[in-house]
Amino acid sequence: MERLYTIPLRDAWKTSIKRRSKKAITVLKAFTLKHMKADNVKVGPELNKHIWVNGKQNPPRKVKVQVLTEEVEDKKIAWVELENVKFEIPKKIDKTDEKADSKKTEDVKATEKPKKTDEKATPKKSDKTPKTTDKKESKPKKDDKTKTVSEDKPKINEAKPKKAESEDTKTNVKAKK
């Protein structure tokens, strides 16, 4: 069944300015659910672009749409699109065909011979030996850096030795009081 509607989106303007286009989509879906008595509503890509073209703050005040309905497994689905846009209800692909196609691709992969790789390009674990270069020797290792820094600076937990107070400083403090 196909019907044409002019849907008012004025309720979207009653919400906050940052949520208007999102609210316009929900108003559109609610209108379609009510008038088409459908269980689910799908919004077409052109209609979605038309509502969001001016951003989230400024959706159109009203929209002329065409609505197609389809029944799938005792559920009624309504497809909504702009009035002058041609669209067809997408057909579902059979799952049995997908499974058959995936099995065929797996069979083809299994029949392909694995490519030979050069043994020189990928050495065995036993052949790996650590190699040293001049660059590595010139740069200090991370462990060496931490040791040198910690040796230079005193540890935080160590208590600093207190200065011995001389008798002269004690007398100066008493004189000030």
Fold of 2-82: Ribosomal Protein L31e; Chain: W; (3.10.440)
For the cut 60, the answer to whether the pLDDT of residue 17 exceeds it is yes
Distance CA 123, CA 125 (A): 7
Strand partners, 78: 41, 69
- DSSP β-ladder status, 40-43 and 75-82: parallel
- Return the pLDDT at 159: 58
- Position 158 confidence tier, pLDDT thresholds 50, 70, 90: low
Average pLDDT over residues 31-47: 94
Distance CA 19, CA 22 (A): 6
- Return the pLDDT at 104: 59
Tell me the average pLDDT of the chain. 75
Distance CA 103, CA 107 (A): 6
**pTM for this one?**
0.51
